[in-house]
Structure 1
Amino acid sequence: MSTRTTGTTRRVAVAAAATLALSLGVTACGSDSGKSAGATASDAANAATSNAAATGSGVPKASGAITVFAAASLKESFTELGKRFETANPGSKVTFNFGGSSSLATSINSGAPADVFAAASPATMKTVSDAGGASGQPATFVKNTLTIAVPKGNPRHVAGLKDLTASGVKVALCAKEVPCGAAAQTALKAAGLDLTPVTLEQDVKGALTKVELGEVDASLVYRTDVQADAAKIDGVDFPEAAKAVNDYPITALAKAPNKDGAAAFVAYVQSPEATQVLTAAGFQAP
């Protein structure tokens, strides 16, 4: 009797141990599974954080070639931003095509390969958006105003727009279809003036160069261009400029060869770091 009881007890103990082991195994399995799922989520989060490492707060990293079509007036500031972007994104290479916004828009609509477009006016950007070339809604990242560029020392003593209409004063303007030309016409209309320029240029740098070379006495250009060329040019502010402020929109392009790079550069241009560079160059924050 005692022997049978002992055998039975042993069998029960073994079964209980097996049940306990099985239970612990299941628990351990569930625990490992939870750890594995947690690790996977953590790894994904870390990967996302790593991929969102920024050149500016919240700006994702990028690599590869990024081609940016940008208004001529952005040349100095965007060149600086391009260098900073490349430093923060090893393996990336930003190439710029600067020119008149209207001609750049025409090139994009004709199929020129580009990742980003930064224009000097919403009207010019609209020609690209209307053709389906913009990826998403373009965003205004800065504003710019006009000023009168004159040679150092202002030999013609230009004090305002009216002085540009004086006999013998030679003036360069941007062509009307170019944003700086459209802005100039708006300012002249606000002043009630009719001005016949001696030359019409296809971008703002062309109008500025005419003053540098002494081929004209003055030109209507952006404040940022005069600031960038302060060693050779003086600027004369005029009140009507407030009637002709240009918004500058930027967008990644729908057919961008480097979509991730395009999105990253557009985000960077809107970052606090980039805004600081742009405002230091004379642009206004949007």
Structure 2
Amino acid sequence: MTFRRRAAAAAFTAALLLPLAACGGDDGGDGPKKVDLTVLAASSLTDVFATAGAAYEKENPGTKVAFSFAGSQELAAQVRQGAPADALVTADTKTMDGLRAETGKPTVIAKNRLVIAVAEGNPEKIDGLGDLADSRLKVVLAAPEVPVGRYGEQILDRQKVEVKPVSQEPNVRAVLSKVELGEADAGLVYKTDAAAAAGKVDAIEIPDAQNAVARYPAATLKDSEHSEAAAAFVTWLSGPEARKILQDAGFQQP
């Protein structure tokens, strides 16, 4: 008799718990699973990733993508310190290669080139890299630890142009800001950053033979709590819609 009572009680309890289980979960039953992704991304991707993130969220209901932008060297430091994030996009392959223990296999999603950012109207009449050696000019560069700073140093060295910058900034957006605010006459930035500031600065093109190519690799982070969703986002960044968004913003195809 006791066994029968226990069996009946167990069956009754299971019957009560079944509908509760059907109602549980964060995804609302049949609705899309809710995932919040955090992506660490190079500063030069600030504008284009706002568009890309919105497009991805529209295609993937339930997924929210939050970006944290900084210089690639700063992002690398955050990863090494264990910052909670799901994916990483840097402005150079060197920085990404130094994080092999922390990332999945990287994929280059876009390329970029440098230009000379000057005040609107180019009041100093700067025509090319050689003009940046003029001691009367206030030239600002990114620090050599930053990808754009390293690229800038390379192209200036190859042309044997000696520049004494008035400051060395922690990321490309800081360089651009100095020119925008009139605190510098010129600065080396990515083509896409100058384009995003059209109407505030002008861009002086640097010939391809004198220029450097910046490559942007994307990878998942091994400590991600949403590894499948992070991998899906990185894969999407290499797909046709993301490539069109990047190309429309002035990035080159990988």
Q: Classify the TM-score, shorter chain.
A: 0.7 to 0.9
* 1:182 is aligned to 2:150: yes
Paired AA for residue 134 in structure 2: A
> What is the match of residue 170 of structure 1?
138
Write the mapping of 1:33-72 to structure 2, written as runs, cut at 5 A. 63-72=34-43
- Structure 1 stretches of 5 or more lacking a match? 1-60
Q: Which structure 2 residues correspond to residues 66-215 of structure 1 after superposition, within 5 A?
A: 66-129=37-100, 132-135=101-104, 137-215=105-183
Higher mean alpha-carbon deviation, 239-248 vs 159-168, is at: 239-248
1:185 maps to amino acid: E
Conserved 8 A contact 2:118-2:202:
yes
Q: 2: distance between equivalents of 1:124 and 1:207?
A: 20
SS at the partner of 2:99?
helix
Q: Show the counterpart of 1:270.
A: 238
- When the two chains are superposed, the root-mean-square deviation of aligned CA atoms in Å is 1.3
Alpha-carbon distance change, 241 to 172 in structure 1, aligned in 2, over 3 angstroms: farther
Once residues 127 and 109 of structure 1 are traced to their aligned partners in structure 2, the CA distance between those partners, rounded to angstroms, is 10
**Aligned partners of 1:241 and 1:114: how far apart in 2?**
38
Q: Which runs of 4+ in 1 moved over 3 A?
A: 240-243
Residues of 1 paired with 2:124 and 2:75: CA distance? 35
1:187–1:241 Cα contact (<8 Å) kept:
no
C-alpha distance in 2 between matches for 1:167 and 1:248 = 33
Distance, in Å, in 1 between the alignment partners of 2:210 and 2:106 is 23
Give the share of equivalent positions with the same residue, in percent.
43
Q: Is the 8 A contact 2:35 2:226 kept in 1?
A: yes
Cα distance in 2, alignment partners of residues 277 and 206 from structure 1: 24
Amino acid at match of 1:64: V
Shift of 1:127: 1.7
TM-score scaled by length of structure 1: 0.76
Q: Is the 8 A contact 2:112 2:251 kept in 1?
A: yes
Q: Which has more helix, going by share of residues?
A: 1
Question: Residues 251-284 of structure 1: CA distance to partner in whole angstroms, max 9, x if unpaired?
Answer: 0111112111101110111110100010111111
Aligned length: 223
Do 1:152 and 1:232's aligned partners in 2 also have CA atoms closer than 8 Å?
A: yes
Q: TM-score, normalised by structure 2?
A: 0.85
Taking the aligned partners of 2:243 and 2:68, their CA distance within structure 1 comes to 21
